[in-house]
Amino acid sequence: MASRHEVQVTISSAKHLKNVNWRHGDIRPYAVVWVDPSNKFTTRVDEHGDTSPHWDERLVIQLTAPVDESTLHIDIVHANAEVDTKPLIGSARLLLSQVFDNVGFNETLDKTLKLRRPSGRPQGKLEVKVVLTEHRYHVPEPHYAPPYGVPPPQPVYGYPYSAPSPPPPHAGVTRRTTTTVHHEDGKKNKLGLGAGLAVGAAAGLLGGLAISDLED
């Protein structure tokens, strides 16, 4: 499982380097930086600095182990070495636990590292800046992610959704009423709109017949 931390390394400059290319001229140094040997990073080559190069280059390395188990390794190498020239100029290392003990997280540690030749003899110094950072993960709000295969909810534009308003009443339409007819047995019978209209139609018909008889 990957660590939640990373290290930011700025390779600033070096001085008093060994000229491993003395047979052919100046050296062209660059830095190789790693914590995990299977994942190495390099700076650009300083073509003109010779034994006192400047890079001022920042590299960001994701840690694969806890900070107190991680070590920063830096090799200074001569680029495009001739066949008879060994390209390794010097090496340095720094325990990241020392960085944490000195400044903790998100603070810069300026450090001068001693470079050592492959034989172990010290020669040269390397200026670096090291920052340990801790990732801050955002905890998502629960119950918002839809299940797989379900499209996400569409955004709502304008006003929020609300219950639809009832349709406006149409002209000429009479609301339904209830007519109560009293019978001789004292019971009430509720008639709906249809029955009321039928009674009215019958009364109109009888009235029409009576008027017709009078006209005849």
Summarised one tens digit per residue, pLDDT across range 89-131 is: 999 999 999 999 999 999 999 999 999 999 999 999 999 999 9
Q: What angle do CA 6, 12, 15 make, to 5 degrees?
A: 135
Q: Are 57 and 128 in contact (CB under 8 A)?
A: no
Q: Is residue 150 part of a domain?
A: no
Total number of domains constituting the chain? 2
Is 151 inside a domain boundary?
no
For 51, the domain range is 5-134
Asked if residue 98 is part of any domain, the answer here is yes
Q: What pLDDT, in 10s, does the model give residues 2-47?
A: 578 999 999 999 999 999 999 999 999 999 999 999 999 999 999 9
3-state secondary structure of 70: coil
Do 57 and 125 lie in one domain? The reply is yes
Residue pLDDT, tens place only, 160-202: 333 444 555 554 444 444 444 455 444 444 444 454 555 555 5
- Dist CA 106 CA 103 (whole Å): 8
